[in-house]
Structure 1
Amino acid sequence: MTNTMSAEVLARLAQGKSFLDLAHKAVFITGAGSGIGRAMALAFAANGARLALLDINPLSLEQARGELLALFPGIAVQTYAAPVNDEQAVQDAVAGAAAAFGGIDILLNNAGISMNQPTLELTGADWRRAMDINVNGVFYCAQAVARHMVGQAHGVILNISSMYGVVAAPERAAYCTSKAAVAMLTKVMAIEWGRLGLRVNAIAPGYVKTDLVDELVKAGRMNVEALARRTPLGRLGEPQEIAALALFLASEHASFINGHVVVADGGWSAYSYI
């Protein structure tokens, strides 16, 4: 299959950055109830997209839906309370969203968990939980959505990896391994599905101010001040900054970017000195 850009599209892109092409697109977001997922929902809603939100927490989902409707009256929002590591639940949610919107144009495959433990103390149960959610969950969602996208001959999938899928850190064996797997899975999907009209990329955030970070701080497993000092930009990232990157990668402006893992970490992984 050969994909060509029309003169009209090329001319519009040359006029400068905009995300007008995202208006009315059907966007499926996992882990949408909080953090980066919620920020992405707000960003895509602001650009006129229709949203299908999936999260394991029904209360967070309803709060996100209420916020979206308050800010963007009349926006189309579907919600699905399900864990991403439940393959059948994922397939049902994706089928429901595809039926409601007449297809799915974009998947923001964001749901995941942290796992910060000394390797000698890491239990088999915790290892399997990290792999089940961070790897299996990403696979189930991507595969289910891609099966609908292939019929449309177009679609964009953005998987959320981590800078710790690119560089390593102590006491994160399960987390680093799972996020590295997401990065490689992204590349395999991009190679297979590119000729079918799909683009698949990954975003690899560094330390971002989310509930996951808050939980580690409260547990005494993370020092925010030390992390900010270690980051060349001198601060943690904001969820909205990752959402802005997702907008770009999902838009026509990234039409030739496929199979790439885009790191957004304030320079952390570029800086080898401790």
Structure 2
Amino acid sequence: MINSKHENQNPVQTGFQSANYPGISGKTVVITGSANGIGLAMANSFARQGARLLLVDINDKGLAEAKQELEKTHEGIDVEIRSASVIDDAAIESVFAYCEERFGSVDILLNNAGISINKPSLELTPDEWRHGINVNLNSVFVCAQAAALRMVKQGSGVIINTSSMYGIVAAPHRTAYCAAKAGIVALTKSLAVEWGSYGIRMNAIGPGYTRTPLVDELGKTGRLDLEKLSNRTPLGRLGEPQEMAELALFLASDSAAFVTGHILVADGGWTANGYM
């Protein structure tokens, strides 16, 4: 049953307000999956704070458009782009080597790249399972390790992994996705404990359903019912990419200097709501 308490009400306003955080200006930030959606919103949020950016994605056209948008919106922004697959280990090592050479440091990694997997588990092929785990989980470790090897030399660094509310709760037809996102939660905590002594903080964000281009497209094709998803959410709407970016901004900032091993979920109350 769908909770319909939000039906017939006026559209819900987000009330979103961006904030300024200390310790971001001048830092070098690597963002994977940054050609659009939450990754691009992260790029805009960190650019607003004066960070230097290296955007990584497999979408060449999207990367070029993102760079153009950022340079137009944020005067004087220092932004580079690199086309690379997060499941190509050699390409990822090249990305971080370039970042270190170009900017002199790797201060913040936003491990955001991922794919959607929505298929009944009895129909999921072994190759589809492995691909989902590779993109959504294995790449997170590979990128984190490449960044951490540079951060250890610096004696400091921040890594923010994008998990999901489905790393905390489960849903049908998303077995590989849920498993990977739950793996990110455990990985985040484990590496936070192991790498804390090197001055590296490791946290994760757990977005709920968010209005990205992918989600909008799934809504248009009927694969997601966005109205039902909004009604199922206690706040009565989907999240916005900027709201998720703000979580990463806070966790990467000096305002969160004593926060590590934490999973910050922003789902409008979805995981708290047991009434279907």
TM-score, L = length of structure 1: 0.92
- SS of the residue corresponding to residue 247 of structure 1 reads helix
- Partner amino acid for 2:153? G
Task: Give the gaps of 5 or more residues in structure 1.
Answer: 1-16
Q: AA paired with 1:151?
A: K
| 1:82-97 alignment runs, 5 A limit | 82-97=84-99
Matched residue, 2:105: 103
Distance, in Å, in 1 between the alignment partners of 2:214 and 2:135 is: 14
Which amino acid letter does the alignment assign opposite residue 258 of structure 1? T
Q: Residues 193-213 of structure 1: CA distance to partner in whole angstroms, max 9, x if unpaired? A: 001100000000000011231
Q: CA contact under 8 A between 1:209 and 1:237: conserved in structure 2?
A: yes
- Matched residues in 1 for 2:171 and 2:106: separation? 36
CA distance in 2, matches of 1:215, 1:151: 43
Which structure ranks higher in relative contact order (CA pairs < 8 Å, sequence separation ≥ 6)? 2
Give the percent of matched residue pairs that are identical in Structure 1 and Structure 2. Answer: 55
Give the alignment partner of residue 227 of structure 1, picking from 211, 214, 229: 229
Q: 2:199 pairs with 175, 197, 200, which one? A: 197
* Superposed structure 1 runs of 4+ greater than 6 Å apart: none
Note the C-alpha offset of 1:131: 0.5
Q: Deviations over 1:133-189 (max 9, x none)?
A: 001111111010010001001000000000001001111101000100111111111
Counterpart position of 1:21:
23
The answer to whether structure 1 residue 125 and structure 2 residue 135 are counterparts is no
For 2:264, the equivalent position in structure 1 comes to 262
Residue-pair matches, total: 258
When residues 95 and 80 of structure 1 are mapped into structure 2, their CA distance, relative to the original with a 3 A threshold, is: same
Residue 226 of structure 1 aligns to a residue in which SS?
helix
1:128-167 equivalent positions in 2, closer than 5 A? 128-167=130-169
| Alignment check: 8 A CA contact 1:113 1:212 kept | no
- Greater helix proportion: 1
Retained in 1: the 8 A contact 2:22–2:254?
no
Q: TM-score, normalised by structure 2?
A: 0.92
Q: Contact 2:20–2:49 at 8 Å: present in 1 too?
A: no
Runs (5+) with no aligned partner, structure 2: 1-18
Computed over aligned residues only, the root mean square deviation of the Cα atoms, in angstroms, reads 1.0
Deviation string for 1:220-270 (max 9, x for gaps)? 221000000000000000000001111110001111110011111000001
Distance 1:255 1:44 in 2: 17
Question: 2:80 is matched with which residue: 68, 78, 99?
Answer: 78
Report if the CA contact (8 A) 1:116-1:221 is conserved. Answer: no
